[in-house]
Chain A
Amino acid sequence: MLQMKDVSKVYRTEMVETHALRDLTLEVRAGEFVAVTGPSGSGKTTFLNIAGMLEELTGGVYTLDGVDVKSLDDKARSKLRNEKIGFIFQSFNLIPDLNLFDNVDVPLRYRRMGRGERHKRIETALERVGLASRKKHFPAELSGGQQQRVAIARAIAGGPTLLLADEPTGNLDSQMAREVMQLLEELNEQGTIVVIVTHDPEIAARAQRNVHIVDGVAADIERGPTLVQKDLQKDPKGFANAETIG
């Protein structure tokens, strides 16, 4: 599904050249739940931005669902992003002027779906995150956890194959974080690929696989699904027994 080979990203100014990613090679297959970890400034978010086609890569090859994204123009890239990818951000990134219904509607609008189809998908997505009854509310009227659930509803409404989450629990308390993670795991179980960037080892421990990035260089650490399952069985509510990575 997602293949990166020797991907590099260099930020250049007149004075400085910063290598955010160095020859990163990675493959994420269908059905995987991958955690990308690493210290601050290691390049995790740059990786996610490139994976989500929000930034262009400097070198290497990135293929998403068999399409070389470097060859696409902005319109084709936006279409691919809209159809294949759902984003979840640490700060939720809901549009404050739109109610929940309209927020979830945003990606569907750019897909030019009919009104009936859009409404059906929005209702389903909001029901999925347990907020269907609050669709007329505005983001400011919700708690952080609820806002993140709306963001998840928005991300899944279009039926993406890949969910990219950047520190999705970073602004949430532990109870809310647990609920959000549970939701992401359920989505993964239903076939959606989840790639989550985190510096929280407990969150990372719940993934099937960890990719650890330091100074723009990635190391792939496999974790068997069995291990994750086992951990969850030990402590389904918390993260105390999850293995610490990096």
Chain B
Amino acid sequence: MIGYYLDLAGRSLRRNVSLTLLMIVAVGFGVGASMTMLTVMHVLAKDPIPEKSKVLHYVQLDPRPLRGYSPGEEPLEQMTRQDAETLVREHRADRQALMTGGNATLVPARANLDPFNVDARWTSNEFFSMFDVPFLKGGPWSAQDDTNHGRVAVIGKQLAEKLFGSTDVVGFPVQVETTEMRIVGVLDDWRPIPHFYDLASDVYGQGEQLYVPWTTSRDLSLDRSGNMNCWDSKHDDPTVLGAPCEWIQMWVELDGDAKEVAYHDFLANYWADQVRSGHYERPVNIRLRNVTEYLDFNKVIPDDAKLGTYVALGFLIVCLVNTIGLLLTKFLRRSSEIGIRRALGASKVSIFVQLLIEAGVIGLVGGLLGLVLAGLGLWAIRHGASSYGDLAHLDMPMLAATFGLAIVASLLAGLLPAWRGCQVAPALQLKSH
């Protein structure tokens, strides 16, 4: 019967082309606008590291003085250098890394290339294994390089191609500011979305192309970037060890609940030690959020994207209400045909299904139009000013979701008209036909 109903739907839709087009356009525009924004949300809200998002944890402590303390408040967003370096040295988690964003001027060996700045990350060697960073060539620097303040670097694929015209550059020297470093690894394309491990930098940006050991970066006083907050001014340089400033992110990998509890206990003991030694004044206030919790807490999705999504979904509802009205008109104008079919043996359910399939066909065609419009919408976003614009692409799941939304939306829109249609009293229609 489905084939028969599809045939009837086709005939019915061809009968009044302008009304049909109006409904298709309503569904298409509603779906197109919604899918544009839902695609953006889908990209922005996705888990950046799904296989490890439950085992990677962001560490937060609070070494600020008791003055100004409010019970229940959040600890510091980032860590002091003193705390971060101590915790990494303690090495109590499966893996751990401290880091900050930075930038540096590179001086290319190629004569035809001027010095240029790159975004960088100063971190420790377990950063790469902890975040499953893909290497094209070579690998991370060693723990010994961290300890020995090694003059080594890992660079991104794009930077390798820019500097050398090749990615096969392990062992090559690269001049960072005034220091020559040896390239130990070249990364494949890697752009976690969002840039979860440091939300103080561009959350949906391109990421870094240069990675240097933390210890080396402090030796060379390489520029840092991102937020920094200090609560005392007893140090001229806020980046030195012991300065009362938070500016470092610290991540740990804890595989399992037991390890998470144990690490939390370790942090509590660390806190107690710091209180005893006079470095900490506040009551214990530790946060150890995994990636999902950390992103949820920080509400990383931009407000304009959220607002756009609400507006688009509102527009879809308006389009569907219009479609309901049009379908209702269309179906009730066919009351006489419905009456005839009922007299000839169609049950109310048969009529309901027939009319719902007709609404579904409108949804399917509307979905095709919606797909084209969503493509145009995403193109406009890609060429707009938003930081996440270049991420706005329709992938296969969202392509399927577009059709799904169109069909579900039109079926929902068709429910009331189809129900009203199947309630037509056949006797009345047959006499008045």
Task: List chain B residues, Cβ under 8 A from A158.
Answer: 345
Q: How far is the CA of A61 from the CA of B377 in the complex (A)?
A: 64
Question: Given A94-B340, A111-B345, 18 more contacts at CB 8 Å?
Answer: A45-B427, A54-B342, A54-B430, A75-B347, A75-B349, A78-B346, A78-B348, A81-B343, A81-B345, A83-B345, A87-B344, A89-B430, A93-B343, A95-B340, A106-B340, A110-B350, A158-B345, A166-B430
Most buried by B among A75, A82, A95: A95
* A45 with B347: CB separation less than 8 A: no
* A45 with B431: CB separation less than 8 A: yes
> What does the 1/0 interface line of B332-357 toward A look like (CB < 8 Å)?
00001101111111111110000000
Nearest Cβ distance between residue B215 and chain A, in whole angstroms?
79
Report which B residues bind A (CB closer than 8 A): 1, 4, 11-12, 15, 336-337, 339-350, 425-427, 430-431, 433
* B343 with A54: CB separation less than 8 A: yes
Task: Name the contact of A110 in the complex, choosing from B11, B15, B346 (C-beta under 8 A).
Answer: B346
Top-10 shortest CB links A-B: A82-B345, A78-B347, A110-B345, A107-B344, A49-B427, A54-B427, A75-B347, A54-B426, A55-B427, A93-B340
Give the residue name and chain of the A residue nearest to B429 (CB): A93
A74 within 8 A of B: yes
Task: List chain B residues, Cβ under 8 A from A12.
Answer: none
Q: How far is the CA of A98 from the CA of B12 in the complex (A)?
A: 11
Task: Name the contact of A97 in the complex, choosing from B11, B343, B348, B350 (C-beta under 8 A).
Answer: B11
Give the residue name and chain of the B residue nearest to A105 (CB): B4
Q: How far is the CA of A55 from the CA of B11 in the complex (A)?
A: 29
6 A-B residue pairs with Cβ-Cβ distance under 8 Å, sorted by A, are: A75-B347, A78-B346, A78-B347, A89-B433, A106-B341, A166-B430
Give the residue name and chain of the A residue nearest to B14 (CB): A97
Q: How far is the CA of A110 from the CA of B1 in the complex (A)?
A: 8
Q: Number of A residues whose C-beta is below 8 Å from B?
A: 30
Task: List chain A residues, Cβ under 8 A from B345.
Answer: 78-79, 81-83, 107, 110-111, 158
A91 within 8 A of B: yes
* B426 with A112: CB separation less than 8 A: no
A52 within 8 A of B: yes
Nearest Cβ distance between residue A113 and chain B, in whole angstroms?
11
Q: How far is the CA of A49 from the CA of B431 in the complex (A)?
A: 10
CB within 8 Å of B: which A34-65 residues = 45, 49, 52, 54-55
Task: List chain A residues, Cβ under 8 A from B342.
Answer: 54, 78
* A110 with B344: CB separation less than 8 A: yes
* A78 with B350: CB separation less than 8 A: yes
CB within 8 Å of B: which A66-94 residues = 74-75, 77-79, 81-83, 87, 89, 91, 93-94
Nearest Cβ distance between residue A72 and chain B, in whole angstroms?
11
Give the residue name and chain of the A residue nearest to B345 (CB): A82
Task: List chain A residues, Cβ under 8 A from B348.
Answer: 74, 78
Give the residue name and chain of the B residue nearest to A81 (CB): B345
Nearest Cβ distance between residue B146 and chain A, in whole angstroms?
76
Nearest Cβ distance between residue A53 and chain B, in whole angstroms?
9
Q: How far is the CA of A36 from the CA of B194 in the complex (A)?
A: 80
Task: List chain B residues, Cβ under 8 A from A98.
Answer: 11
Nearest Cβ distance between residue A122 and chain B, in whole angstroms?
13
> What does the 1/0 interface line of A204-246 toward B look like (CB < 8 Å)?
0000000000000000000000000000000000000000000
Task: List chain B residues, Cβ under 8 A from A82.
Answer: 344-345
Give the residue name and chain of the A residue nearest to B432 (CB): A91
Q: Say yes or no: A109-B4 contact (C-beta < 8 A), given A81-B343, A82-B345.
A: yes
A149 within 8 A of B: no
* A109 with B1: CB separation less than 8 A: yes
Nearest Cβ distance between residue B181 and chain A, in whole angstroms?
78
CB within 8 Å of B: which A105-127 residues = 106-107, 109-112
* B15 with A97: CB separation less than 8 A: yes
Task: List chain A residues, Cβ under 8 A from B336.
Answer: 93
Q: How far is the CA of A70 from the CA of B10 in the complex (A)?
A: 36
Give the residue name and chain of the B residue nearest to A87 (CB): B343
Nearest Cβ distance between residue A211 and chain B, in whole angstroms?
19
Q: How far is the CA of A81 from the CA of B430 in the complex (A)?
A: 15
Nearest Cβ distance between residue B427 and chain A, in whole angstroms?
4
A22 within 8 A of B: no
Give the residue name and chain of the A residue nearest to B339 (CB): A93
Q: Say yes or no: A52-B340 contact (C-beta < 8 A), given A45-B431, A93-B430.
A: no
* B431 with A112: CB separation less than 8 A: no
A154 within 8 A of B: yes
Q: How far is the CA of A208 from the CA of B413 in the complex (A)?
A: 53
Most buried by B among A78, A87, A94: A78
Nearest Cβ distance between residue B175 and chain A, in whole angstroms?
79
Give the residue name and chain of the A residue nearest to B346 (CB): A110
Nearest Cβ distance between residue A31 and chain B, in whole angstroms?
24
Q: How far is the CA of A95 from the CA of B12 in the complex (A)?
A: 12
Task: List chain B residues, Cβ under 8 A from A49.
Answer: 427
Task: List chain A residues, Cβ under 8 A from B426.
Answer: 54
Q: How far is the CA of A11 from the CA of B427 in the complex (A)?
A: 13
Nearest Cβ distance between residue A207 and chain B, in whole angstroms?
22
Nearest Cβ distance between residue B2 and chain A, in whole angstroms?
12
